Structure 1
Amino acid sequence: MDFQTIKSTLPQDIPFLMVDKVLHRVYRQEIVCLKNISGNDWVFLGHFPKRSVFPGVLIIEAMAQSSILLFTEPEATEERLYYLTSTKVRFLHPVMPGDQLKITISVIRDSSIGAIVKAEAEVEEKVVAKGELSFAVQ
């Protein structure tokens, strides 16, 4: 899935798109996405000016958006909204400008009213964040 398809599929828009590319996807089972971290990103204006670190909350947002892409068909005519209801994420290493965040999402539980997924983010094969996310579907 390329950036244009991602942009037309996700309910978020620039500058809040946190997925640049989908590398692998098995609908409603597993997805692997990329987020390129650039020193030009707006978040680095204040987080932190002397030593830029990509905010953990935006890593969670990238995981959530990757999850939405896992459960949404790009050609779908019916709009279903996925609301993040809970997170349990640990941050293991900082993410810096120049890093490429690889996000892997796999389904733990899936139903018509929501889902629970396992999420893992890596930089150069080193896990930087991992945990579980829960969603409600409207």
Structure 2
Amino acid sequence: MDIHQILKQLPHRYPFLLVDRVLELEKGKSIKALKNVTMNEPFFGGHFPHHPVMPGVLILEALAQAAALLAFDTLGAAPDDKTVYYFAGIDGARFKRPVEPGDQLILEVELDRMKAGIFKFKARAKVGDVVATEADLMCTMRSIA
């Protein structure tokens, strides 16, 4: 899935779209996506000016966006304009390696279970073969109309 297909699925836009490409997608099971981290990211100006590091909460957000793409594929459709996909919980978040400009963040998310509109995922973000971040994510879709 390239950026054009991602833009059709996710409502996020610059500077908050944090998935550049989907590398693998197995319906109802898992997704592998990537985020190219460049020095041009708007958050690097303040986090931190002399040692730029991607904020951990944005790594978690990138994982949640990848999880949303997996959920939409599993359900067979993206939400419409009257539906929003929300974070409902994050457990066991661990930050094991800083993510810096020039890194390619590989987002790996597995669907753990899905029941009554609640999705639970096992997620990890890697740089190369090294885990940078891991967490259990819980997300849900809600009508806003």
Give the secondary structure class of the aligned counterpart of 2:16: coil
Alignment of 1:2-81 (within 5 A): 2-73=2-73, 76=77, 79=80, 80-81=83-84
Residue 88 (structure 2) aligns with: 85
> Alpha carbons of 1:46 and 1:78: their partners in 2 closer, same or farther (altered >3 Å)?
closer
The count of corresponding residues between Structure 1 and Structure 2 is 138
User: For structure 2, which runs of at least 5 residues remain unmatched after alignment?
Assistant: none
Aligned pair in 2 of structure 1 residues 127, 77: CA closer, same or farther (>3 Å)? closer
Provide the C-alpha distance between the structure 1 equivalents of 2:35 and 2:139, rounded to a whole number of angstroms: 21
1:98 lines up with 2:102 in the alignment: yes
SS of 1:81's partner is strand
Q: CA deviation at 1:28?
A: 2.2
Shift of 1:115: 0.7
| 1:45-96 per-position Cα deviation (integer Å, ceiling 9, x unaligned) | 11000000011010000000000000114x8375243210111211001000
Instruction: Provide, for residues 1-57 of structure 1, a one-character-per-residue CA deviation record: whole Å limited to 9, x for no partner.
Output: 000110121021111100000000012210000000001111111100000001101
Determine the structure 2 residue equivalent to 1:114: 118
| Other-structure match for 1:131 | 135
Counterpart residue type for residue 84 of structure 2: L
- TM-score of the aligned structures, taking structure 1 as reference length: 0.94
Gaps of 5+ in 1: none
The root-mean-square deviation of aligned C-alpha atoms, in Å, is: 1.6
Whole-Å separation in 2 of the counterparts to 1:77 and 1:33: 17
Length-normalised TM-score, structure 2: 0.89
User: For residues 17 and 40 of structure 1, what CA distance do their matches in structure 2 show?
Assistant: 14
- Greater CA drift, 108-117 or 126-135: 108-117
